[in-house]
């Protein structure tokens, strides 16, 4: 049975169920598998055949991570249910984008962004694990617009979960707000906080910091450091290798990156045995990762708003998982390194380790002007419309690709209709919402406006949660 250890080395190791519900480790670290299960593409093909469904591949890849904590039949049912919420038969189709380049479209889920691939599974796994334990939770989160809807869609109508999402009142786009507020489910509660996104995040932190309150409502989160989200994302790297028939051959990936969860999942696939010759970590103007791969120094600076808001980050929290490997699984070193990073805003990796990383990793920055150009170029050349996040990844692939013969898979992380203004500015055409979201502007909205005040928000959460007193 797989055990999970904290990157900071002092928290006790856990099984999958505990890791799922815990999120962050009590020592401040992130959970990683003690050992990576081993697999080759040839073995995968032998297990699932040459033309499996996405769900079949997903079960084969994830089973070693969950085995012993969930019934095989239950797990299969949950995975099938999860990917039935996607409206493409391939779930994450590969679309050719010119010479030896493909788009891996991760945006066919309920909210049109790649977060659905993991969150749709995690919501169901939470419900299953809570049911086994006879427990329930209240999930809280803050969103600037993009991630809230994926969490809400993942948790709506789950028996044992109540979810409360805070967004800054009047500061999200209308599509983003409506994707959250038109969800008609009794366990979903939207709060428009009279304040900024930072105020929302501070309220969430304060709620978690209040031990009495936290216990009383069984507070929980499904943020991007949750191991199960990384696990679900490992699957589509294998899927791409399988679909491109890369048995015994390498593949390269370009990944639009914010919190480093998506690209770390690619690294996980490689640790398992997938042959990956290059990872391109694509960033917008918020280029802390590009500067890191260039210099070995990770230095926090101000965040600038860009056309690709889900990548507007200061710190990529999942990077700690890669650092753990870079420092040979020495938890004490990681604890020192990241405590210091928090205090000083600087983290440095020596030239030797940086050199080892750079054998297969590249950081690449694409600014807003270039992002618009890439959207226009690709539209003109092959008729595909890219969202600005995807365009950052495609632009980075054009700039940093190392081999003309190894196929380059660019992860497409959002549907263009999610960012209609940026797309229209680039190509003069407004992308249409897919049919499942038609009617978004007619459906009634449900949300409560609250002041930026902890006691008021806590009272709201307490009154909505179905946790027994």
Ligand X SMILES: *Cc1c(COP(=O)(O)O)cnc(C)c1O
According to the 3-state scheme, what is the secondary structure of 228-261?
HHHHHHHHHHHHHHHHCCCCCCCEEEEEECCCCH
Using rule CB under 6 A, residue 258 touches ligand X: yes
In 146-222 the beta strands, taken as DSSP E runs, fall at 161-168, 188-194, 219-220
For ligand X, the binding residues in 306-335 under the rule CB under 6 A are 310-311
Using rule CB under 6 A, residue 260 touches ligand X: yes
161-177 as b/e: b if 16+ CB within 10 A: bbbbbbbbbebbbebbb
Nearer to ligand X, 256 or 395 (CB): 256
Nearer to ligand X, 166 or 265 (CB): 265
Handedness of CA 294, 296, 301, 305 (dihedral sign): positive
102-116 as b/e: b if 16+ CB within 10 A: bbbbbbbbbbbbbbb
Nearer to ligand X, 261 or 407 (CB): 261
Q: How far is the CB of 363 from ligand X (least distance, A)?
A: 13
Concatenating the DSSP letter of every residue in 270-291 gives: HHHT--EEEEEEEE-S--HHHH
Q: How far is the CB of 255 from ligand X (least distance, A)?
A: 7
Nearer to ligand X, 269 or 450 (CB): 269
Strand order in the sheet with 137-142: 219-220, 137-142, 161-168, 188-194, 448-451
Query: How would you classify the pairing of strands 408-412 and 251-256?
Result: parallel
Q: How far is the CB of 310 from ligand X (least distance, A)?
A: 3
Among 19, 144, 179, 259, binds ligand X (CB under 6 A): 259
Using rule CB under 6 A, residue 414 touches ligand X: yes
Q: How far is the CB of 456 from ligand X (least distance, A)?
A: 30
Candidates 38, 115, 205, 436; catalytic one: 115
Among 111, 143, 226, 413, binds ligand X (CB under 6 A): 413
Q: Strand, helix or coil at 455?
A: helix
Using rule CB under 6 A, residue 284 touches ligand X: no
Distance in angstroms (rounded) separating the CA atoms of residues 412 and 389:
8
Nearer to ligand X, 310 or 371 (CB): 310
Using rule CB under 6 A, residue 108 touches ligand X: no
Using rule CB under 6 A, residue 148 touches ligand X: no
Among 109, 123, 145, 261, binds ligand X (CB under 6 A): 261
Residues 6+ apart with CB under 8 A from 46: none
Nearer to ligand X, 6 or 306 (CB): 306
Using rule CB under 6 A, residue 190 touches ligand X: no
Using rule CB under 6 A, residue 113 touches ligand X: yes
Using rule CB under 6 A, residue 256 touches ligand X: yes
Q: CB under 6 A: which stretch of 188-196, 250-258, 296-304, 332-340 binds ligand X?
A: 250-258
Q: How far is the CB of 186 from ligand X (least distance, A)?
A: 27
Residues 6+ apart with CB under 8 A from 37: 2, 64, 65, 272
Using rule CB under 6 A, residue 224 touches ligand X: yes
Size, binding site for ligand X by CB under 6 A: 17
Nearer to ligand X, 141 or 261 (CB): 261
Q: Tokens 């500015």 map to which residue? A: 425
Q: How far is the CB of 261 from ligand X (least distance, A)?
A: 3
- Cβ atoms within 10 Å of 326's Cβ, excluding its own: 19
Distance in angstroms (rounded) separating the CA atoms of residues 17 and 67:
10
Structure tokens at 455: 């006691």
For ligand X, the binding residues in 16-75 under the rule CB under 6 A are none
Active site residue 38: no
Interface with ligand X (CB under 6 A): 113-115, 146, 224, 256-262, 310-311, 389, 413-414
Active site residues per annotation: 115
């Amino acid at each position: 049975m797989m055990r999970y250890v904290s990157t900071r080395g002092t928290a006790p190791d856990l099984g999958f169920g505990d890791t799922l519900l815990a999120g962050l480790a009590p020592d401040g670290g992130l959970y990683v598998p003690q050992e990576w299960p081993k697999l080759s593409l040839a073995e995968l093909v032998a297990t699932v055949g040459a033309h499996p469904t996405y769900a079949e591949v997903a079960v084969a890849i994830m089973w070693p991570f969950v085995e012993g904590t969930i019934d095989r039949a239950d797990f299969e049912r949950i995975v099938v249910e999860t990917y039935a919420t996607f409206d493409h038969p391939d779930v994450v189709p590969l679309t050719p984008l010119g010479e030896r380049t493909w788009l891996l479209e991760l945006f066919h889920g309920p909210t049109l962004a790649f977060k659905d691939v993991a969150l749709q599974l995690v919501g169901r796994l939470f419900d299953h694990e809570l049911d086994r334990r006879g427990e329930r939770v209240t999930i809280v989160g803050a969103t600037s617009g993009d991630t809230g809807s994926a969490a809400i869609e993942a948790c709506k109508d789950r028996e044992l979960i109540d979810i409360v999402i805070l967004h800054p009142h009047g500061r999200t786009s209308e599509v983003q707000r409506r994707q959250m507020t038109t969800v008609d489910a009794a366990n979903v509660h939207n709060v428009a906080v009279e304040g900024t996104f930072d105020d929302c995040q501070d309220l969430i932190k304060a709620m978690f910091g209040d031990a009495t309150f936290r216990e009383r409502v069984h507070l929980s989160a499904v943020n991007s450091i949750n191991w199960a989200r990384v696990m679900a994302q490992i699957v589509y790297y294998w899927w791409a290798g399988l679909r491109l028939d890369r048995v015994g051959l390498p593949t390269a990936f370009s990944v639009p990156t914010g919190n480093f969860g998506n690209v770390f999942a690619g690294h996980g696939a490689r640790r398992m045995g997938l042959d990956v010759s290059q990872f391109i970590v694509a960033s917008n103007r918020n280029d802390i990762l590009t500067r890191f791969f260039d210099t070995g120094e990770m230095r926090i600076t101000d965040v600038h708003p860009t056309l690709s808001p889900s990548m507007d980050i200061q710190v990529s929290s999942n990077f700690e998982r890669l650092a753990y490997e870079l420092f040979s699984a020495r938890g004490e070193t990681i604890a020192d390194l990241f405590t210091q990073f928090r205090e000083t805003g600087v983290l440095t990796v020596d030239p030797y380790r940086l050199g080892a990383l750079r054998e297969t990793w590249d950081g690449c920055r694409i600014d807003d002007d270039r992002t618009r150009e890439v959207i226009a170029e690709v539209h003109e050349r092959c008729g595909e419309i890219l969202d600005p996040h995807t365009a950052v990844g495609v632009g980075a692939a054009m700039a940093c690709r190392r081999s003309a013969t190894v196929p380059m898979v660019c992860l497409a992380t959002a549907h263009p209709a999610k960012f209609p203004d940026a797309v229209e500015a680039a190509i003069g055409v407004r992308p249409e919402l897919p049919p499942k979201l038609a009617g978004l502007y007619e459906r009634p909205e449900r949300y409560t406006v609250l002041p930026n005040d902890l006691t008021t928000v806590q009272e709201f959460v307490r009154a909505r949660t179905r946790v027994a007193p």
